[in-house]
Chain A
Amino acid sequence: MGHPQIAAFARLANGGAKPTRAIAGQNTLFNRTIHGMAYDPVRDEILVPGNHAFAILTFRGDANGDVPPVRKIFGPNTTLLNPSNVSIDPVHGEIFVAQGNRVVVFPRDADGDVAPIRILQGPDTGFLPRPNDTQRVTVDPVRNLLIASGAGGLRIFDRTASGNTKPLRFIAGAGAKDVRLLTNNPANGMIFGAVRAGENENENIQGRYDLDDFVGVWSVFDDGNVPPRLTIGGPNLALKDARGIAIDPRHKNVIVSDKTLNAVLTFSVPEAF
């Protein structure tokens, strides 16, 4: 893809809408593509991983155009390696990055070459090395939980878990094992995961045009082999290759991006809130 960017669209944008603003350009320090992002509602900041330069970049929430980050976590002490994701705990002020078979945590104000304040890693975590590694994490700051996708399902840890710690719960089974990107709603303890069913490698095109993806909804209290409580956008409805997932609790919307459709879809789902 020729043009990485972070584009902002009005909540009700539809069709070929013009973004209200876009962050892009040499000063942003973005590289060829962006696979992770988090919005911090407390600081009004946007966090982006720098996959090539092994950095976490933080921008002002109203950033627009070719602007530099206000902070960057970057350097040998960070131990960052190909970061493709980032998550924020806006309440406790911590940044989480899934890194293969571990999760590293930085303080929100970290800037420069700083070491993680915690690392969750070890055989008891259930995290696996690539290619079955931890994909993404999200934090429930109300219940103090850390939820990780990948490696066969959704693992739920104490928010401050560190070292070789077992998850409190492990949601497995159809759906959960195929969750990549995810988020959660602390208001009701629900996890929203983009389920990429039948995900295949970059050599195979088979299945990419099938309407087999969906958004799965679980509770943070679910455990074991349980199906999603709700499925959104499919299967067999609208989603071919679900990628990103976000929620708008105020308007009870679930938003999902789709690679094959090259589109962003918004679903009204009051039942999930």
Chain B
Amino acid sequence: MTQLGRAWRTSRAIRLFVLVALFGTATQLVLSREGRAPQDGTRRTKIIGKDRLVSVEPLPEMDGEMCVYPELMASLQQGSASALMASLPQQQSGAAPVASTPPRRPSDAVRSAVAARKPTSTVKDPRNSFAGLVVDPIRNEVIMAEENNFSILVYDRTANTPPGAALSEPKRMIQGESTFLEFACGVYVDPTTGDIYGINNDTLNWMTVFDRNARGNAAPNRKLATPHSTFSIVADEENQELLMTVQDPHAVVTFKKTAKDQDAPVRLLQGPKTQMADPHGLALDPKTGLIYVTNWGTHNERRIPAVGGGTGRGARKPNWPVGGDQSIPGSGYFRPPSITVYRKDAQGDVAPLRVIQGPRTLMNWPTSIAVHPDRGELFVANDTGDSVTVYRADADGDVAPIRILKGPRSMIKNPTGVALDLKNNELWVANFGNHSATVFPIDAAGDPVPKRVIRSGPANAPSPMLSNPHTIAYDTKRDELLVSN
């Protein structure tokens, strides 16, 4: 039995050895066959260094456009950070692109069909939006600078849209390609002739002068090339000059009132000492000879050329503002909003006589300003404050308003224009946010009901407040269009 058992164990070991040897040989045969050049190109095993068993299966030929990383794209579209990160491809910069050949071009039929396709929706305010205004008490009219439809509108001064009416039609409307009006936000009316002066804040650098009876697609009687981004215009009738704020160069330029075409300014107020920063509103007090400028607060520093005159487009013109091409990189800064005060003939880089600035002023995007010489008061339209704040004209520093107009009864909503009717002692406000101009007694305060209202749309009509909608983006999380002015 003992011998029998030993023989069984010996033969079992031999059989096991033979079995292992056969398996090893077979494996080597299989691997060696896989290692040869593939005949059908469908599957192979590569041995690279110590790594092995990397299986590659070629993708089918592409036909049309390729949809890559569906999880990545879905997460990009839905804004899911975790899903996005989990789905990121493990590739380094400079790695081979996902696909290396351009997709097939669309057929002519597809191209034609797409090119002729009309929009499915268009966000556009069909109504007029008042941006700035001026009163002509001699002719009993009020003139509106209107941004939404590139126009200047004239209404009777005493027009009053009934509460149930959709709107009041203007007496005259100047609008069209011949007018050289785009984003007009400043207007002035000549007290003697009734001529209407309009300035374009953006995209079209002209001041236009129209006959008071101009209407429709009328060419201006004359036009004057202005620096880019003029915002407010006032006239010094005593000296027959026009003064304008210019936002980009943070300046006030002065032209002769009769200037036209490529005439140069006669004076320039610009430089760091002026403390102007994104200047908007401009008012002139003919009694004191002072000008008041409202500033939003953003600014940067510029090199002033050794030789006078402007640079760039106005390089050959004296008193042309130094443009952004002379700005110093990284030199920008933010300041609180302010009112800076100068003599009307100030020029060069001079400090303001006074600065009204600080949290007590309650200014919030002070966009327009008017001065009442007899009352010694300044009226400021605060766009995003939905308010008109009133200050003493000799105020200085961080002072509170002496009166505030604000509230739902006042209908003051995103006011971008303010004007005074000195003859009739009325305060006018252009409300960009609700298609209206509202009229108040000169000493109104609190949340007063307007004396009169001129509306260009129903009282409850929404106002998109589009004005040169420049850049847009799509908010994938909320499925919303983001539109910037």
Contact = CB atoms under 8 A, between A and B. Distances in A.
Interface of A: 1-20, 22, 24-26, 29, 31-39, 41-44, 46, 48, 50, 52-55, 61-62, 66, 74-82, 85, 90-91, 113, 130, 142-145, 158-160, 181, 186-189, 201-203, 205, 208-209, 214, 219, 221-222, 229-235, 237-238, 243-250, 253, 255-269, 271-272
Interface stretch (B48-56, B67-75, B436-444): B67-75
- Where chain A touches its partner, the secondary structure class is loop
B446 interface: no
Interface in B442-474: 457, 461-474
A185 to B, nearest CB: 9
Nearest to A42: B81
A2 B201 contact: yes
A33 B280 CA distance: 12
Contacts of A258: 469
Interface of B: 65-69, 72-73, 76-79, 81, 84, 88-89, 91, 93-95, 97-103, 105-106, 110-111, 113-127, 131-132, 147-150, 177, 180, 182-183, 185, 201-206, 225, 228-229, 231, 247-248, 277-278, 280, 296-300, 313, 324-325, 327-334, 336-337, 363-365, 367, 383-384, 414, 416-417, 432-433, 457, 461-485
A153 to B, nearest CB: 16
Contact of B84 (A13, A61, A91, A187): A91
Given A3-B467, A7-B464, A32-B296, A257 B330 contact: no
Task: Across the A-B interface, give the 8 residue pairs with the lowest CB-CB distance, nearest first.
Answer: A18-B462, A54-B332, A53-B332, A221-B102, A2-B416, A263-B124, A25-B384, A52-B298
Contacts of B247: 31-32
A29 B470 contact: no
Contacts of B463: 16, 18
Nearest to A72: B334
Given A26-B297, A37-B484, A233 B470 contact: no
A230 B108 CA distance: 9
A221 B98 CA distance: 11
Nearest to A223: B102
Given A5-B465, A53-B334, A237-B116, A41 B477 contact: yes
B302 to A, nearest CB: 11
Given A186-B73, A238-B118, A246-B473, A79 B329 contact: yes
A186 B88 CA distance: 13
A41 B127 contact: no
Contact of A266 (B65, B121, B204): B121
A205 to B, nearest CB: 6
Contacts of B229: 32
A94 B209 CA distance: 48
Nearest to B91: A144
A145 B99 CA distance: 13
B115 A13 contact: no
Nearest to B384: A25
Nearest to B123: A264
Given A26-B365, A79-B330, A189-B99, A37 B466 contact: no
B480 A2 contact: no
B462 A37 contact: no
A61 B99 CA distance: 33
- Counting chain A CB atoms within 10 Å of each CB, which of B105, B383, B471 scores highest? B471
B331 A160 contact: no
Given A8-B482, A19-B465, A42-B79, 14 more contacts: A1-B147, A5-B484, A36-B471, A42-B81, A52-B298, A79-B329, A80-B329, A144-B93, A158-B93, A186-B76, A202-B205, A219-B102, A259-B203, A265-B122
- Counting chain A CB atoms within 10 Å of each CB, which of B102, B183, B462, B481 scores highest? B481
Given A1-B202, A232-B117, A268-B120, A25 B464 contact: no
B93 A16 contact: no
A25 B124 contact: no
A85 B471 CA distance: 9
B330 A80 contact: yes
A55 B332 contact: yes
Contacts of A15: 122-126
A145 to B, nearest CB: 8
